Every structure is written in C-alpha cells, then in structure tokens.
Amino acid sequence: MRVVAVWSIKGGVGKTAAAVNLAFFAAAAGLRTLLWDLDPQGAATFYYRVKAKVKGGGRRLLKRSAELQLLVRGTDIENLDLLPADFSYRRLDLDLDARKQPQRRLALKLAPLADEYDVVFLDCPPSVSLASESVLRAADALLVPVIPTTLSLRGLAQVRSFATKRGRRDLLVLPFLSMVDRRKTMHRDAIGLCAADEGFLRAAIPAASIVEKMGVHRAPLPAYAPFSEPARAFAALWSELDARLFGRR
C-alpha cells in the first residue's frame, strides 16, 4: 500500500480537486483506493456525496482500539472508498498531542489497511502543525499543488524544508502546477522556473470554471466532463504519479 498526502501550506491551490480526481483515476485503473478526508471543511467528502461525520469524531478515531475499517464508507465509484471528514478534525492537533507518539499516530492507524488497499490519498488541511508532522510520517509521497506565483513557489520551498527538517529525506516530494492561467505574464514566467526544477511533475492543471462545477455536480471531473482539458490534465498527472509510485507506464 502506498500513501499519498496531497498537502500545501497555502490554501486555495486546488489541493482537494487534485485529491478527488486522482483518487478517481487510481480507482479507474483498477487499484483498490481509499481517500481519507482530513480537512474539517469536508469538501472531498461533499464531492463524493458522503455525510461529513465520523462517529465519535477525531478523538475516538485516534484511539488505539478504534478500527478505521469500521469508519470507511463506499462511494459510487468502483474500487474507491472514502474515510469522511468530521468537523472535529479542527482540533486534530490537540487530539494528537494527547496521544503517545503523535507523529506516528496516522501511520499506525493506516497500517492495518495495508492488505485492503493499494493506494491511500490523504486530503490534508493547509497548515503547518502536529497533524502535518503525522501526515509526513505516514506518507510515501507528498503531492504539492503549486500555483505559478511567487508566494506559492515560496510555500513549496517551505514544504520541502519542513519535510527535510522532520527527517523525511526519503519522502517523494512531487510538486505540480495547479490553476494555471497562461494569459497571465506572471504565470508564464513562473512556468519557466518550474520547468527548470527537475522535481516538478510535467502535467499542469489549467484554471477553468468546469473544475469549480465539481461542487454543483458533487462528482469528480471525469464523471461529468471526461473530455475537458482539466480532466485530461488530471489523467496525465495520475499517469506520472502511477509511474513514480508503482513503476507502471
């Protein structure tokens, strides 16, 4: 089982859209897929038409005796399950701090699922916190959406530094361009800088209103606009991630 955390220090960079659509493509590729919505806002949960509620909330979920399998919900997509968000996740740092080995807690919770899933996506809230440290410890790869702007690129540098300082030099940090508007000079200039960074995945997700309509349709993009430019871009992004994680092409 490979664990992919979709995370950024900055909000509003297309993080949840990436997690939702990549989970769809992973499931469509035949991989047993779990999407864990760790964001208390619960957008990924909403998109997949699941109630944003975990019995007992985050505090119960983190208990050693609590089994994640009992909290997982199915979706309308074959091979794709969802562990829904809960508003109590806003206190996840406090709940983690009350546990022994808080940095390892999410990894310990996911370990029993290793035989049930091929890939797990973590949709993480935009913050730097104890929960972020626990996510870093659990993940095999960190997928970082980057808008081609100065502040977003600075946020990527902070993510890379944070991972290194927390002892995860082995972690795959995979940034990709998100919400790209090639009409903007700043975006075009930043795209050139990113192209020179060998760490970047090549696929770039365009800024488009069709992506924002995920909330209207309550579905991943390929379910209602499979031939749109953003859907093709997410498919290309999944192909790159698939090759990095599983060596498949």
Q: Which pLDDT tens digit goes with each residue over 164-187?
A: 877 666 788 999 999 998 888 888
Q: Is residue 7 part of a domain?
A: yes
pLDDT in tens, 1-10: 999 999 998 8
pLDDT in tens, 24-75: 999 999 999 999 999 999 999 999 999 988 887 777 777 766 788 888 999 9
- Domains held by the chain: number: 1
Q: Is residue 214 part of a domain?
A: yes
Rounded Cα distance between 93 and 191, Å, is 35
Quote the tokens at residue 232: 């093709």
DSSP line for 162-203: HHHHTT-TTSEEEEEEEEE-TTSHHHHHHHHHHHT-TTS-S-
pTM given for the model: 0.93
* CATH code: domain of residue 234: 3.40.50.300
pLDDT of residue 231: 97
Rounded Cα distance between 238 and 25, Å, is 7
Report CA torsion sign: 123, 218, 31, 33.
positive
pLDDT in tens, 113-144: 999 999 999 999 888 787 888 888 899 999 99
Is residue 145 within a helix (H) or strand (E), and if so which, with residue range?
Answer: strand 141-146
Quote the tokens at residue 161: 């530094």
pLDDT of residue 65: 66
DSSP line for 10-35: SSSSSHHHHHHHHHHHHHHTT--EEE
Rounded Cα distance between 237 and 228, Å, is 14
pLDDT in tens, 189-198: 878 877 777 8
Give residue 44's domain range: 2-244
Rounded Cα distance between 40 and 18, Å, is 17
Share of the chain above pLDDT 90, in %: 52
Closest Cα to residue 123, out of 21, 27, 35? 35
Q: Is residue 249 part of a domain?
A: no
Closest Cα to residue 142, out of 249, 237, 7? 7
Q: Is residue 145 part of a domain?
A: yes
